[in-house]
Amino acid sequence: MGECLLEISQLGKTFGKHKVLHNVNLKVAKGEVFGFLGPNGAGKTTLIRVVLGLIRPDCGSILINGFNLQTNFRRAIEHVGAVVETPKFYPQLTAYQNLLLVKNLHRSLHKNRIGEVLELTGLIARAHDKVGTFSLGMKQRLGIARALLNYPKIIFLDEPMNGLDPQGIIEVRSLIHHLRQQGITLFITSHLLHEVEQVCDRIAIIKNGTIIAQGNLTDLLRSDCEVVEIYTKDILETYNALAGVAFVHKCTINQSSLLVELDKGSTEHLIPFLVRRNLHLQYVILRKYSLEDFFMQLASKEGNL
């Protein structure tokens, strides 16, 4: 891992008797896109709020860009951008005025920067329209524009795809790719595992306030076996043929196909094996071990996530 931009050590937070965060340790390197996953109520938003100084932790420390958040808040937060849950704005103010409210709190920023971020997020044409007239997708983009205003080194995006239509999701995704290319570190929480898998380099999974898995996405998704889906008219015959084959771990019958779990790299042996037995194969699909599979596997190990 390269230079560390965010370092969370032994973080804990309790609301009343409920332990919301327990001994959380995380490191996010400069320039990476970090995915933070977990079911509802696991502690994702609470962690983001603690890291942003909105909630006081009971114990532990947070370093952002080398500055301790508790003892040097202003320096630590100076180059941080955030969109926490659905971005909130003053509906009676225009998009430009809402961004002006943030610009006014950063002495070094020039007014031109507002135009730049509105241009970047495709909202320049609506700069002087009241935010009350904006769609959710536009508010989400305006939230990102606001997060970009202070030339952030790290941006926290809490459920950035939530409630967006497919077009909105594509727009936000391409914006994330654009930010990544600019070298901005991103910390993203999301329920949409497919989206996280597309954009993140590393992930952490939290459950009941505790991190249960953390690492490089490609390492976590590396599996010792592979899964193929076989479409054939001879389902039963194929199923029987595969019984007892050494490289096949598991075979299950789906509605119109067979799901076969086998040794990594064995697919190339599987097809000739079935062809030699004159079984009529329509097509064979190699199923990628996805983040969703990893998440579900973890769920079965850890009980219901």
Partner 1 sequence: MIGLIKNEWLKLLNNKKFYWFLLLLLIIYLFPVLMTLVVRMNTLNGQVYPLTVFGVITSFVMPLFLIVLIAEIVTEDYLSGNLSHTIIQPVTRWQIITAKVLFVFLLLITLMLFCLLLGYGIGCFIFGWGTDFMLRGASYTSLTGVKLTIISYLSASLPLLAFGLFVTFIAVIVQSGAAAVGISAGILFFSIMLELLTEIGPFLINNYFNTLPFILGAFVNPMTLISSIVFISCFGLLFYFLTLVIFIRKDMVL
Q: Is 178 in the site for partner 1 (CB under 8 A)?
A: no
Query: In the stretch 112-151, what mask flags binding to partner 1 with x, by CB under 8 A?
Result: ----------------------------------x---x-
| Residue in 4, 18, 85, 253 binding partner 1, rule: CB under 8 A | 85
Q: Is 100 in the site for partner 1 (CB under 8 A)?
A: yes
Residue whose CB is less far from partner 1, 79 or 207: 79
Written as six digits, the tokens of 5 are: 């931009």
Quick count: other Cβ atoms within 10 Å of Cβ 149?
20
Sequence-ordered list of residues with C-beta below 8 angstroms from that of 105, at least 6 positions apart, any chain: none
Strand 154-158 and strand 80-83: pairing?
parallel
Q: Is 17 in the site for partner 1 (CB under 8 A)?
A: no
Size (the chain), residues: 305
Residue whose CB is less far from partner 1, 147 or 248: 147
Sequence-ordered list of residues with C-beta below 8 angstroms from that of 9, at least 6 positions apart, any chain: 25, 60, 61, 62, 63
Q: Is 92 in the site for partner 1 (CB under 8 A)?
A: yes
Written as six digits, the tokens of 190 are: 């999301």
Torsion sign over Cα 266, 271, 275, 277: positive
Q: Is 105 in the site for partner 1 (CB under 8 A)?
A: yes
Residue whose CB is less far from partner 1, 89 or 294: 89
φ/ψ of 102, rounded to 5, equals -80, -40
Q: Is 191 in the site for partner 1 (CB under 8 A)?
A: no
Alpha-carbon gap, residue 273 to 265, rounded angstroms: 14
Spatial contact of 228 and 262, defined as CB atoms under 8 Å apart:
yes
To partner 1, the closest distance from the beta carbon of 13 in angstroms equals: 9
Q: Is 89 in the site for partner 1 (CB under 8 A)?
A: yes
| Residue in 9, 14, 97, 162 binding partner 1, rule: CB under 8 A | 97
- Footprint of partner 1 (CB under 8 A): 49, 52-56, 73-75, 77-78, 80, 82, 84-85, 88-90, 92-93, 97, 100-102, 104-107, 146, 150
